[in-house]
Structure 1
Amino acid sequence: MQNNKVKILQTEILSDNWYTLNKITFEKTNSNGSIQTQSREAYDRGNGATILLYNKDLNTVILTKQFRLPTYINGNPDGMLIEACAGLLDNDNPEECIKRETEEETGYKISKVEKVFESYMSPGSVTEILHFFIAEYSKEMKTTDGGGLEEEGEDIEVLELSFDEALTMIDTGAIKDAKTIMLLQHIRIKNIV
């Protein structure tokens, strides 16, 4: 879908090392009819998927804990972040991606997932759309220890927390990850756990 009020004039690649950082110069027709030329940087890392595993009977959720450099740089003392399992689509559809990531990161092999919504996570600078899922888990679904893929440098701790404890961790600041907060609040609002 094209927006006839926006015209891309130039795209300059600033970095193509890990993902792509572009400087985009464009013209935009404002609501008053005036035309304005602007330049913005946009980081394209692809789209992703995230999931919250929950167990109704035990009133628990599965989260992960891993080192996140950007949080360390921005004042997180040890750089560790508690979050919902997630990963980039890597040319998969969102459902297949999240099933793969769930098994790699948490060790749970799930077959049924429910997509609950999509969201731009940082639309001022990042192109990514994140697909949000939830799924029930049971002890029988645990096939490995999880922990991520060593060849991708992943060193992920798997956490099983009571739902109430996870909600309290939002209040105390122990959970600061947006996607995780959104998923925990979703199952709270929907009264799922």
Structure 2
Amino acid sequence: MLLIGPLADPALRLRLMPGAVPADPLAGWRLLPQPDAGIEAAAWPALVADPQGQVAAWRGDWTPALRRYAAIFGLSPVQVAGHEVLGIAAKAPRDPAAPGPGSARDWQPDLAAAMADWVLNLPDTLDAGTIRGRLPMIAAWVSARLRGDRVTADLPQIGPEGQDRLQILSRAEPYAKFFSVEELVLRQRRHRGDWSPEMLRAVFVSGDAAVVLPYDPLRDRVLLIDQLRAGPVARGDRQPWFYETVAGRVDPGETPDEAALREAVEETGLAIRRLIAGPHNYPSPGILSEYLYLYVGIADLPDEVAGFGGLDSEDEDIRSFILPRAELTRMAMAGEIRNGPLLVLALWLELGYARIQGELAPSAEG
């Protein structure tokens, strides 16, 4: 069997078929790039005829890891010029010249490799189709883990000294649907120098999110939304509709800035001109893995931008409205803002709005 495309890349090949050897290229063909290969189930590149084309290939036999991976991602061998080929879509697109979805991005080998490690470490008793249905959330979580490792590598160290201070002994996932719960068994070096006993900790896993408060410095006003929230419903809150601001998950391969701009359009139809980073944070690090990227988004906010928004595909029912920045501050100080990210941004903006207005005054007037 031949591996081609992303499966032939060392990021996946060495994990799935480590004994593969180089094969003669497939002459007369070319691959249509697909940046989400190895991340989404239906996102493998198409093979199309091209008299001048050549596609690199590696030859080898099925391995247990490759069989499990192919079952999870819905991959099946395709007969091409007398060869059994794995790593491409079963059918070419109607327009071979048209790039696939998301093709403005490059393929993401690091994320695809981390995805392979993650799904292959799941229990064999889990049905492959069930895992396939959860790939979008798994990708968001794995992407957040990669981002967390990358952006925190150079932070000043707090806690016990030295690198040998944390041991993760096991990781399990007793609940896995749209979100998941992980159970970690770990040991830590304590501040006084000795090691703790084994500790069981449960963590609610949801990936990273971007939050943006639209602000018009010329009119000195902000845009808020309100919508129903399941958390307060579960708690028995008699007022589960919350004042909030624009927020949403950071998609795999997307930067937090890109997510903030996308969510502003999806939830309010609003085009943000500039993002100003606020205080990014873990809202509840004792039980949540979620990391929030907070922004103030500079935008034009005339009265007519208020209205209704949200995605029907996600059952969102969102109303947006405009109010003066000073009123938002009053609401925050009076306890009328019960959404944590909005509360943080409201108080942060109150401390910095004069500076923002001063920095943007020339462009606002121009």
TM-score, L = length of structure 2: 0.49
Distance in 1 (alpha carbons) for counterparts of 2:180 and 2:234: 21
Show the counterpart of 1:53.
214
Check whether the contact 1:50–1:130 (CA below 8 A) recurs between aligned residues.
yes
The aligned runs of 1:11-22 (5 Å cut-off) are 11-22=171-182
Distance in 1 (alpha carbons) for counterparts of 2:273 and 2:335: 32
Matched, 1:151 2:283: no
Question: Deviations along 1:93-132, whole A, 9 cap, x unmatched?
Answer: 1111010100111111124212233111110011111111
Distance in 2 (alpha carbons) for counterparts of 1:117 and 1:86: 15
31-40 vs 93-102, greater mean Cα deviation:
31-40
Matched, 1:118 2:275: no
The aligned runs of 1:108-187 (5 Å cut-off) are 108-139=270-301, 145-187=307-349
User: Tell me, what secondary structure is at the counterpart of 2:193?
Assistant: coil
Give the CA deviation at 1:73: 2.3
> Aligned Cα RMSD in Å?
2.0
Distance in 2 (alpha carbons) for counterparts of 1:18 and 1:131: 21
Show the counterpart of 1:104.
266
User: Tell me, what secondary structure is at the counterpart of 2:316?
Assistant: coil
> Gaps (5+ residues) in structure 2?
1-152, 154-161, 358-366
Distance in 2 (alpha carbons) for counterparts of 1:44 and 1:100: 22
TM-score, L = length of structure 1: 0.91
Show the counterpart of 1:62.
223
Question: Deviations along 1:73-110, whole A, 9 cap, x unmatched?
Answer: 22431310111111110111111101010011111112
Q: Give the aligned residue type for 1:65.
A: D
Q: Give the aligned residue type for 2:184.
A: I
Identity across the alignment (%):
23
Distance in 2 (alpha carbons) for counterparts of 1:114 and 1:170: 20
Distance in 2 (alpha carbons) for counterparts of 1:38 and 1:3: 19
User: Tell me, what secondary structure is at the counterpart of 1:117?
Assistant: coil
Check whether the contact 2:301–2:322 (CA below 8 A) recurs between aligned residues.
no
Give the CA deviation at 1:161: 1.1
Aligned length: 192
Check whether the contact 1:107–1:144 (CA below 8 A) recurs between aligned residues.
no
Name the larger-Rg structure: 2
Q: Give the aligned residue type for 2:171.
A: T
Higher helix share: 2
> Gaps (5+ residues) in structure 1?
none
Give the CA deviation at 1:139: 4.2
Question: Deviations along 1:35-63, whole A, 9 cap, x unmatched?
Answer: 11211001110001101111122221011
2:191 counterpart (31, 39, 61)? 31
User: Tell me, what secondary structure is at the counterpart of 1:135?
Assistant: strand
